Copies of this chain bind each other. A is one copy, B any other.
Amino acid sequence: MIETPYLLFLGDAPDMLSSKVAQGIKDWRPEFAVGQFRMEGCKADLKLPDMTLEEAKAAGVKTLVIGVANRGGYISPAWKKVLVMALEEGFDLASGLHNLLRDEPELAAVAEATGQTLHDVRVPSVEYPIANGVKRTGKRCLAVGTDCSVGKMYTALCMEKEMRARGMNADFRATGQTGILITGNGVPLDAVIADFMAGSVEWLTPDNDADHWDLIEGQGSLFHVSYSGVTMALIHGGQPDALIVCHEPTRVHMRGLPGYQLPQLEEVRDMALTLARVANPACQVVGYSINTQHMAEDEARAYLAEVESRLGLPATDPFRFGAANLVDALEAI
């Protein structure tokens, strides 16, 4: 559990794109995003108050979050100076970089001396159990994809926002680094030991109120040969009551796998549902989330209409057109 609120560290970000973790926190947990910290040459701007460490302290900030990824994911000497000062000022640090905070002797020593915590969200900090498959109370929705990086995290976050706006009892459950930094907790599933993957998802989505929905961030795809085992563990550990199938229609091959075609929505629907019913016989596919960022609006709307008519379930781009029809489908369960 990362303590909130955050000061978002943008460092010397070369462009906005490199700050997408910080942008995600601001978009999805604006109440955590008190200010930004930019160094000389920073080309990113979240339109948040620029704060010194002292100002952030006065504003109640608990953690400095590295919201920027530089090429290679390493911690530069210029950054390190700021990070050491932040620890000395009494902030915790949180990072999703490949280069772990704890592996930097200077940061480790200062954290030890000051009693502050280094959160490396790429590596698990919990000893997860082996999954037991016992039915849990409360309800769960899982986003599954035709491919990696088609918008499963955004789909779950959009649905959480819509559900909370309706007064529903719902929580996004992060299973990746960005999601964990956005919400302050979760499971870095791709870094979990094989035997404990499904158990870590059970741990993440425990018994809950009967009307509560976990919106579980999906990972990988059953049809992506590099990461399908992770997807499988989410389907069985997550015990979903509802599946949303996510897709990006303009992709020409599976991400990172030239020569591998994307599956049809029908294939993902049938495969994911059959497997999900092993853990939860009541599971249903309730809708389709289409990432239309590379399509013009009329093209996007035509595509969604075609999916709805062909597959007989609601379809939307939840980031562009809202998640209302997907949430209606959940409410109908």
- Residue numbers of A with Cβ under 8 A of B are 130-134, 189-195, 197-199, 222-223, 225-233, 235-237, 254, 256-257, 259-260, 263, 271, 274-275, 278-279
Residue A198 contacts which of B134, B228, B256 (CB distance < 8 angstroms)?
B228
Known: A133-B254, A223-B278. 6 other contacts (CB 8 A): A131-B225, A191-B195, A225-B237, A229-B230, A229-B231, A271-B274
Residues of B within 8 A of A254 (CB): 133
Among A189, A194, A256, the one with the most B-chain Cβ atoms within 10 Å of its Cβ is A194
**Contact indicator A230/B194 (Cβ below 8 Å):** yes
Known contacts A193-B194, A225-B236; is A132 also within 8 Å of B279 by CB?
A: no
**Contact indicator A225/B278 (Cβ below 8 Å):** yes
Known contacts A194-B189, A226-B133, A230-B195; is A275 also within 8 Å of B271 by CB?
A: yes
**A274–B222 alpha-carbon span in the complex (Å):** 11
Residues of B within 8 A of A191 (CB): 193-195
**Contact indicator A232/B228 (Cβ below 8 Å):** yes
**Contact indicator B228/A236 (Cβ below 8 Å):** yes
**Contact indicator A222/B275 (Cβ below 8 Å):** yes
Residues of B within 8 A of A237 (CB): 225
Can you pick out 13 interface pairs between chain A and chain B where the beta carbons lie within 8 Å of each other?
A130-B226, A133-B254, A190-B195, A198-B226, A198-B228, A198-B229, A222-B232, A225-B279, A228-B275, A229-B229, A229-B236, A263-B278, A271-B274
**Contact indicator B194/A190 (Cβ below 8 Å):** yes
**A93–B199 alpha-carbon span in the complex (Å):** 32
Residues of B within 8 A of A189 (CB): 194
Residues of B within 8 A of A222 (CB): 232, 275
Residues of B within 8 A of A193 (CB): 190-194
Residues of B within 8 A of A133 (CB): 225-226, 254, 257, 259-260
**Contact indicator A197/B194 (Cβ below 8 Å):** yes
**Contact indicator A228/B223 (Cβ below 8 Å):** no
Residues of B within 8 A of A130 (CB): 226
**Contact indicator A233/B223 (Cβ below 8 Å):** no
Residues of B within 8 A of A278 (CB): 223, 225, 228, 260, 263
**Contact indicator B232/A229 (Cβ below 8 Å):** yes
**A237–B228 alpha-carbon span in the complex (Å):** 10
**Contact indicator A229/B197 (Cβ below 8 Å):** yes
Residues of B within 8 A of A263 (CB): 278
Q: Report the minimal beta-carbon distance from A56 to chain B, rounded to whole angstroms.
A: 34
Residues of B within 8 A of A274 (CB): 271
Residues of B within 8 A of A229 (CB): 194, 197-198, 229-233, 236
**A199–B227 alpha-carbon span in the complex (Å):** 9
